[in-house]
Chains A and B, each alone.
Chain A
Amino acid sequence: MALEHSSEDAYEKIRMGIQACFPGSELPSFYQVKRLLCDFTGVTSIISHMCINSCVAFVGPHADFDTCPECGEPRFDQLRQIRGNKHPRAVFHTIPIGPQLQALWRHPESAEKMHYRRNKTQQILDALLVNDGLVNTYDDIFCGSAYLQGALDGTITPDDTLLMISIDGAQLYESKESDCWIYIWIILELSPDHRYKKKHVLPGAIIPGPKKPKFIESFLSPGLHHVSALQCEGLRIWDSAHNRDFITRLFLFLACADGPGLLTMSNFVGHQGKNGCRMRCPLKGRRKPGASQYYPVLLKPNEYDVPGCTHGDVNVYEIGPSTSESYVQQLNYLLQACTHKDYESCRLETGIVGPSVLLGLQPHLILSIPECFSSEMMHLSGANMAALWLDLWRGTIECASTDNRANWRWSVLREQRRWEEHGRAVAACKPYLPGSFDVAPRDPSLHANSWYKATEYITWIYSLCPALLFQVLPHDIWRNFCKFVAGFRIMGQYSITPTQLERARDFLAEWEYEFEQIHYQRRVDRIHFIRPCVHLTSHLASEAAHVGSPICSSQWTMERTIGNLGQEIRQPSDPFSNLAQQGIRRCQINALLAMYPELDLSREGANPRASEDLGNGYVLLPKRDKRPIKIQGHEAQIISEYMGQDGSPNIRRWGRLRLPNGQIARSEYVESQKPLEELRMARNVIVSD
């Protein structure tokens, strides 16, 4: 297992080596180990055929097809078929979740972790009683009204297993050729500090590209079918911590994905539609005359008479997300359409294309539609909103023939010279951003579009730009941007108090109006400035009250899972099938570790050598002075005063300190030994009184 990142070849060589030295020892071969893993854990994969162009999976209604209903490519290898055996040209693997869940209960240590939701629920309910029905902070999904309601009225029982599904497309290498789609399961029974870790995130299936799957639903089908079956029959669990046998029901609580990914699960019209809001709120979009795409514009444009869009200004406080009752009603309405024309007008009216694939699960065991579709904080902040700000500032947003870029006061980075200047300023911040902040943003004028990561965008736009664009953007526009950032930063916290949440809601609601007034100015030819993400932002606060802080249901984890799996690939020739193998192996190893936690060599808690544990999560780390030194002057005086002693104190300087939140602070003593360019400064700290 230590060889997780090495090759099969390496394992065999080491095995030979050990056997040569200790002739009596019998180490299993690589193949045998694989078999053992599978037998021990019960985790294996379901193989399904798929179209060579990734159009559909040959499952469900397509199970008996011999050619792809989309592109007509044959399903089986033609040469071999002539010889009489049917060999699929492409397959993908689904890893059933049932055995993996069972494994998590098999060791008392792991099983104890699975009790988190139970304990947390009790805590929250206690707090509600004390605080007149308000939670202390929204710091987990279970603080949201959706869960609490379910827990109180018995739709969700303590024995259920709550799951979140997250789906995303991914690029493994820089080339387009490596596109693939992955979905993962996150087990909400575990506490947030465990559930998002590699060890507990369960890959559900890996759908190879390079082409984008046309019917993702069909690829989800084997996995969802498995879940649905378990929902019907119940999954037997032995809780080794309490030596108890019980039947658990899998409850799908949240589904998250970026815009297009979500559509595959929700089957809504998508954000260009008239009812394009993924929260299915009643806001009707507006479109330009003659165009088909709708935008969620609040303010009614001047001199505007496009039929169906002439409603007056919308009060953002009056629109909330829709409920499952109205979804069911509208879906029924849509399904009654008899002719295609009927259907099209129903679709326009309801914003629904067809039934969601999640309706295939047991309806009482999912959080209702559309409530379970979470707005995706990471894409919203890191991709969509970031792109909008940049398009505005750089003046790259489409300019109508009736408009003039010269009048865009916000396009302060339009000139190449100013853009490059800004880029250099961004890159110059790097040494001052601690390493714990992940990748520091690179110079965007050199690297934009090429693998600029979501975290880079987020740091750049939301952390650096308020300062870097101060006195660059006109003051009123800068303030409007800051208001957005203020609201967004609150929404990006892991733990949000009800008061903060209210502030964030007000910030974002006010921001949306002002943003429209400043940029779009009720001009028909600027309707396209108000992209769907502008509107989605206003839902963030109400959604947090509903399902907890957005970051808990965001796709941060997904990115890391892909990163990890990508790293484990050692056969670039056929990355996809290897990725699938890695995914399966990941699941097996995770299951094994849950059953035998003592096998986990990387377990937390071990401090490095020459460190000193101060308790409460504080650990001093090397390097340090070899022996105490005497100091003089101002510093000595202050230390003596602090200690209430006379004379110059002996001190021993330490280089680093690990904080309870996992960050490592460094002292000037070590940081001054490195040149600034090589530094990620970590000696600026916040202290409590």
Chain B
Amino acid sequence: MQDDGDDLYGDPVNPPQYRFVDVALVTLYSHPHPRLFEDSYGVLVSSRKLGEESLCVLALTAIRSVVGMVPHRVQLQEGGMQDRFFLVQKMGMELAYTGTEYDDDQDN
């Protein structure tokens, strides 16, 4: 992830006709490998990096959470050894890091 806060506040050199937006430049991972995903009941989420081609811009506020993507090497029927990345999410994350996420819920 690369985030680019186009922040031109309080910068006297630049005239204020510039817009500033808070965006992230990201590259994507592929959809999870379907057979690994199904055989593992959705536990093994294994993707490839899509690289430079998938580069895209997102609003920063689209980012939901930080996860781990760990490299692993698997033997696949359809094409020998492959270097992939599997997804790691933390159990009970929400409580260990108590943010404002569910503060909002309380107000509904």
Min CB–CB distance B36 → chain A (angstroms) = 7
Given the complex of chains A and B, what is the CA–CA distance between A432 and B58 in angstroms? 23
Given the complex of chains A and B, what is the CA–CA distance between A618 and B101 in angstroms? 11
Q: Which of B2, B19, B64, B95 contacts A686 (CB 8 A)?
A: B64
- In the complex, are the beta carbons of B7 and A612 less than 8 A apart? yes
Given the complex of chains A and B, what is the CA–CA distance between A650 and B92 in angstroms? 40
The answer to whether A657 and B63 touch (CB under 8 A), given A191-B106, A624-B5, is: yes
- In the complex, are the beta carbons of A685 and B68 less than 8 A apart? no
Given the complex of chains A and B, what is the CA–CA distance between A688 and B60 in angstroms? 10
Secondary structure class of chain B's binding surface, majority of residues: mixed
Q: Is A310 an interface residue (CB 8 A)?
A: no
Q: Which of A438, A614, A638, A662 contacts B57 (CB 8 A)?
A: A638
Q: Is A456 an interface residue (CB 8 A)?
A: no
The answer to whether A139 and B102 touch (CB under 8 A), given A463-B90, A657-B60, A687-B26, is: yes
Min CB–CB distance A86 → chain B (angstroms) = 47
- In the complex, are the beta carbons of A192 and B98 less than 8 A apart? yes
Closest to B21 in A: A643
Given the complex of chains A and B, what is the CA–CA distance between A655 and B86 in angstroms? 25
Which listed segment binds B: A74-82, A206-214, A464-472?
A464-472
Q: Which residues of B contact A116 (CB under 8 A)?
A: 106
Interface size class of B (residues with CB under 8 A): 35 or more
Contact digits for B21-61, partner A, Cβ 8 Å, 1 yes 0 no: 11111100100000010011111101000001001111011
Closest to A377 in B: B92
Closest to B100 in A: A617
- In the complex, are the beta carbons of A467 and B70 less than 8 A apart? yes
Q: Is B83 an interface residue (CB 8 A)?
A: no
Contact digits for B69-108, partner A, Cβ 8 Å, 1 yes 0 no: 1111011000000000010111111111111111101101
- In the complex, are the beta carbons of A464 and B97 less than 8 A apart? no
Interface size class of A (residues with CB under 8 A): 35 or more
Most A C-beta atoms less than 10 A away, residue of B36, B89, B98: B98
Given the complex of chains A and B, what is the CA–CA distance between A606 and B24 in angstroms? 24
- In the complex, are the beta carbons of A635 and B55 less than 8 A apart? yes
- In the complex, are the beta carbons of B3 and A466 less than 8 A apart? no
The answer to whether A650 and B62 touch (CB under 8 A), given A483-B41, A639-B25, is: no
Given the complex of chains A and B, what is the CA–CA distance between A470 and B33 in angstroms? 13
Q: Which residues of A contact B43 (CB under 8 A)?
A: 466, 482, 485-486, 489
- In the complex, are the beta carbons of B55 and A638 less than 8 A apart? yes
The answer to whether A466 and B40 touch (CB under 8 A), given A495-B94, A618-B61, A643-B19, is: yes
- In the complex, are the beta carbons of A494 and B95 less than 8 A apart? yes
Q: Which residues of A contact B4 (CB under 8 A)?
A: 639, 651-654
Closest to A557 in B: B95
Q: Is A642 an interface residue (CB 8 A)?
A: yes
Q: Is A683 an interface residue (CB 8 A)?
A: yes
Given the complex of chains A and B, what is the CA–CA distance between A495 and B100 in angstroms? 15
Given the complex of chains A and B, what is the CA–CA distance between A665 and B62 in angstroms? 12
Min CB–CB distance A216 → chain B (angstroms) = 27
- In the complex, are the beta carbons of B3 and A620 less than 8 A apart? yes
Closest to B40 in A: A482
Given the complex of chains A and B, what is the CA–CA distance between A429 and B4 in angstroms? 28
- In the complex, are the beta carbons of A687 and B58 less than 8 A apart? yes
The answer to whether A663 and B66 touch (CB under 8 A), given A436-B97, A668-B2, A683-B1, is: yes
Q: Which residues of A contact B61 (CB under 8 A)?
A: 614, 616, 618
Can you list 7 A-B pairs with a CB-CB distance of less than 8 A?
Answer: A432-B70, A466-B44, A483-B41, A488-B91, A494-B95, A652-B6, A686-B67
Please name 4 further chain A to chain B contacts, defined as beta carbons within 8 Å, in addition to the given A436-B90, A437-B68, A466-B43, sorted by A numbering.
A196-B98, A654-B7, A663-B66, A688-B64
The 3 nearest A-B residue pairs measured at CB: A193-B98, A492-B91, A662-B97
